[in-house]
Chain A
Amino acid sequence: MATETMAAETRAKRSIRWHVGVFLAPAVLVYTAFMILPLFGTLQLSMFRNIEQSQVFVGFSNFRTLFGDPNWSVNFWNALRNNVWFFIIHMLVQNPIGILLAALLSSPRLRFTAFYRTAIFVPTILSFVIVGFAWKLILSPIWGVAPHLMDFVGLKSFFTPWLGKEQYALTALSLVSVWQFVGIPMMLIYAALLSIPDEVIEAAECDGVTGMAQFWKIKLPLILPSIGIISILTFVGNFNAFDLIYTAQGALAGPNYSTDILGTFLYRAFFGFQLQVGDPNMGAAIATIMFLIILAGVCVYLFLVQTRLRRYQF
Chain B
Amino acid sequence: MKTKLLTALLLGTSILGTTGMALAEDVTLNIESWRGDDLTIWKDKLIPAFEAKNPGIKVVFAPSAPTEYDAALGAKLAAGSAGDLITCRPFDKSLELFKKGNLADISSLPGMENFSPVAKAAWQTDDGKTSFCVPMASVIHGFIYNKDAFDKLGIKVPQTRDEFFAALDKIKADGTYIPMAMGTKDLWEAATMGYQNIGPNYWKGEEGRLALIKGDQKLTDKDWVAPFEELAKWKPYLGDGFEAQTYPDSQNLFTLGRAAIYPAGSWEIALFNTQAQFKMGAFPPPVEKAGDTCYISDHTDIGMGLNAASKHPEEAKKFLEWVASPDFATIYANALPGFFSLNSTPVKMEDPLAQEFVSWRGKCKSTIRSTYQILSRGTPNLENETWVESANVINGTDTPEAAAKKLQEGLDGWYKPAK
Contact = CB atoms under 8 A, between A and B. Distances in A.
Contacts of A161: 185, 241-245
Contacts of B391: 254-256
A254 B380 contact: no
A274 B384 contact: yes
A71 B376 contact: no
Interface residues of A, number: 33
A257 B395 CA distance: 14
Interface in B353-400: 371-372, 376-377, 379-384, 387-388, 391-392, 395, 397-398
Given A71-B410, A140-B244, A143-B249, A250 B186 contact: yes
Which of B91, B243, B245 counts the most chain A CB atoms within 10 A?
B243
Contacts of B188: 274
B379 A276 contact: yes
B408 interface: no
A16 interface: no
A273 B384 contact: yes
Interface stretch (A162-170, A177-185, A230-238): A162-170
A136 B414 CA distance: 36
Nearest to B380: A71
Contact of A275 (B185, B187, B240, B372): B372
Nearest to A141: B241
Contact of B244 (A163, A250, A257, A274): A163
B97 to A, nearest CB: 13
A71 B379 contact: yes
B253 interface: yes
Nearest to B381: A276
A252 B384 contact: yes
A269 to B, nearest CB: 8
Contact of A142 (B241, B382, B414): B241
Nearest to B178: A142
Contacts of A141: 239-242, 244-245
Nearest to A257: B388
Contacts of B376: 275-276
A139 interface: yes
Contacts of B246: 136, 140
Contacts of B382: 275
A70 B413 CA distance: 9
A250 B187 contact: yes
B351 interface: no
A255 B384 contact: no
A142 B254 CA distance: 12
Contacts of B413: 69-71
A143 B249 CA distance: 9
Contacts of A254: 184-187, 388, 391
Interface string A237-250: 00000000000001
Interface string A147-191: 100000000000011111110000000000000000000000000
A276 B92 contact: no
B371 A252 contact: no
B331 to A, nearest CB: 31
A164 B186 CA distance: 9
Interface string B153-179: 000000000000000000000000000
A72 interface: yes
9 contacts: A140-B245, A164-B184, A164-B242, A164-B243, A250-B187, A255-B184, A255-B185, A274-B188, A277-B92
Interface of B: 91-92, 183-188, 239-246, 249, 253, 371-372, 376-377, 379-384, 387-388, 391-392, 395, 397-398, 410, 413-414
Interface of A: 69-72, 75, 136, 139-143, 147, 160-166, 250, 252, 254-257, 269, 273-277, 279, 282
4 shortest interchain CB distances as A-B pairs = A141-B241, A164-B243, A161-B244, A164-B244
Given A141-B240, A275-B371, 4 more contacts: A140-B245, A275-B384, A277-B92, A279-B379
